[in-house]
Amino acid sequence: MNNLFERHRQTLEAAQKAAAERGYWSAYPEVPSGKIYGETAKDDGLAAYNAKLGKSFSLPAHPEESRVGAEVSPFGPALGITYPAARVETLISASQAAAQAWASAPPEQRVGICLEILARLNRASFEMANAVMHTTGQAFAMAFQAGGPHAQDRGLEAVAYAWMEMTRTPSQAVWTKPQGKAEPIVLEKRWRIVPRGIGLVIGCQTFPTWNSYPGLFASLATGNTVIVKPHPGAILPLAITVAVAREVLAEQGLPADVVLLAADTTGAEITRDLVTHPAVSIIDYTGSNAFGEWTRANAAGAQVYTEEAGANSIVISSTNDFAGMCNNIAFSLSLYSGQMCTAPQNIFVPRGGIVTEQGLKSYDEVAGGIASAIDSLLSDPARAAGVCGAIANPATLARVEAARGLGRVVRDSAPIAGAPGARTATPLVLAVDADDTDAHEEERFGPIAFVIAVGSADDGIRRAADLARSKGAITAALYETDRARIEAAAGDFAFAGVNLSVNLTGGIFVNQSAAFSDFHVTGGNPSGNASLTDAAFVANRFRVAMWRQPKT
């Protein structure tokens, strides 16, 4: 049995158990504490990050025909890092040259290597936090969690599912078919896992590791070689990932080119050439619906797993904790300035108001309550900077600017004083009527929210579910005090392919999706065709081939 597999066997078994039971579990501590990661870990991570700035990123023996890289931190400075780059054909050839050795490695060995890569990525979490912070605009604490341990948990989850699927069929069996009074027919049969080929992972700018690790590790564990195509604005987190993977592969005597980096430049992206290459068998994509649709339509026979986008809704019917509700929603809208794929955009509120523990609250009081809660949450500039972070892409600021005209401004967006030099924007909250569908029925990525006046909560649920079905939605939230009405709404959202959070008022938010418990995206509406991570996400990344012969 393989050394690395044995080293990490307990983690793998715990992950399998957690995925089956779906209670809380995590392999990698989310608290950026020196007690856990080592007293110097924070400083060491920052130093490791700083040491990369302005340099050539080192990927030993990686195909290299040129250097690319033009990342600029949303907090201000240019990173000045360059990465090895190569033509698509060069990358494909290198990937194919590494394929046979990787496909022939036993599943235990491949899984052991994946788990070792994750363990090393975990140890590099502080360096990764800085890399994620300065490419995505996430504040440090979030960059640590989402870019580090939470992403690693999602990677481990994919490895656990891959292991379960690969070991579901025995490697051998004896088949004995009775023949009445004659001797039975006895065959010995052997099965082996055969990978699909090359897996292409297309990363996004806002969550370069969290959204890429499931596809990366699912393809890798099942024996495929992987080409990682980062967003040109967020190369560093995936370059570090690829470097760690290549290091472990080489140590284990396997070709480092099993994992390749396909770095490119804005305006000269190689993504389309990779997607349409006939040698690419699997594509994991995170990004816009437009490019997602193009990818699904143009992939040359590859299986395509996507997380695209959608307009997420909150429906407010009634609550027993008006202040808690407003505070919870305020945080969900503010966190990372609404740049999470799980952030709410549309808040449906009955025109006639809602029932609360304080009596009826009018539509305006609800909209005002949320706006005030945001103001309160962000009143301290340092706290505001820690919650909102920075805006990853200048286009998002322009979108906020353009959105001001779409409704009555209940709360205006503004830069954050606590983050000088950074590109920032607090949430814009607009009041609109349900009939203003042009305003709210498309995804407006960033800190833009609509409080939408509807005839009733049921009307809001219907509209939210219909919107999820037609345009996509990853999350939905409901505030409702009646259990029967909650269950009815849960059915409506389920059939629209949306996961629903109900009556969140404390320290848990609709945006949050926990590995091993929450399936991220259902795959059942236009916000994505796959779920992170279920059996369907891994089971088709390999095939099972058999040979049989009469038993002698």
For residue 73, give both structure tokens: 């931190």
383 or 551, CB closer to a second copy? Answer: 551
Q: Cβ of residue 440: shortest distance to a second copy, in angstroms?
A: 23
Q: Cβ of residue 62: shortest distance to a second copy, in angstroms?
A: 26
Instruction: Give the H/E segment covering residue 131.
Output: helix 125-136
379 or 549, CB closer to a second copy? Answer: 549
Residue type for 334, please?
Answer: S
Q: Cβ of residue 233: shortest distance to a second copy, in angstroms?
A: 30
Residues for the chain: how many in total?
552
170 or 253, CB closer to a second copy? Answer: 170
94, 84 contact by CB (below 8 A): no
Residue with tokens 């999350």: 475
Q: How do 198-202 and 280-286 pair as beta strands? A: parallel
331 vs 209, 244, 373, 380, 413, CA distance in Å?
23, 35, 8, 14, 15
Cα atoms in the Cβ-side hemisphere of radius 13 Å centred on 234: 31
140 or 493, CB closer to a second copy? Answer: 493
Q: Cβ of residue 446: shortest distance to a second copy, in angstroms?
A: 26
Name residues whose C-beta falls within 8 Å of residue 374's C-beta, 6 or more positions apart in sequence. 330, 333, 334, 411, 426, 427, 429
Binding site for a second copy (CB under 8 A): 20-24, 103-104, 165, 168-170, 173-179, 185, 187, 189-192, 194, 196, 486, 490-491, 493-495, 497-508, 514, 517-519, 522-524, 531, 534-536, 539-540, 543-550
First to last CA, the chain: 28
Backbone angles phi, psi at 305, to 5 degrees: -115, 120
185 or 360, CB closer to a second copy? Answer: 185
Q: Cβ of residue 220: shortest distance to a second copy, in angstroms?
A: 18
533 vs 44, 155, 525, CA distance in Å?
32, 9, 16
Q: Cβ of residue 429: shortest distance to a second copy, in angstroms?
A: 25
Burial class of residue 273, CB neighbours in 10 A (0-12, 13-18, 19+): middle
Q: Cβ of residue 430: shortest distance to a second copy, in angstroms?
A: 28
180 or 253, CB closer to a second copy? Answer: 180
393 vs 132, 234, 470, CA distance in Å?
14, 11, 27
177 or 267, CB closer to a second copy? Answer: 177
Q: Cβ of residue 258: shortest distance to a second copy, in angstroms?
A: 16
* Angstrom distance (rounded) from CA 312 to CA 290: 18
Name residues whose C-beta falls within 8 Å of residue 341's C-beta, 6 or more positions apart in sequence. 206, 207, 307, 309, 310, 474, 527
Q: Cβ of residue 302: shortest distance to a second copy, in angstroms?
A: 11
151 or 504, CB closer to a second copy? Answer: 504
135 or 475, CB closer to a second copy? Answer: 475
Q: Cβ of residue 267: shortest distance to a second copy, in angstroms?
A: 31
126 vs 48, 209, 248, CA distance in Å?
9, 14, 20
62 or 192, CB closer to a second copy? Answer: 192
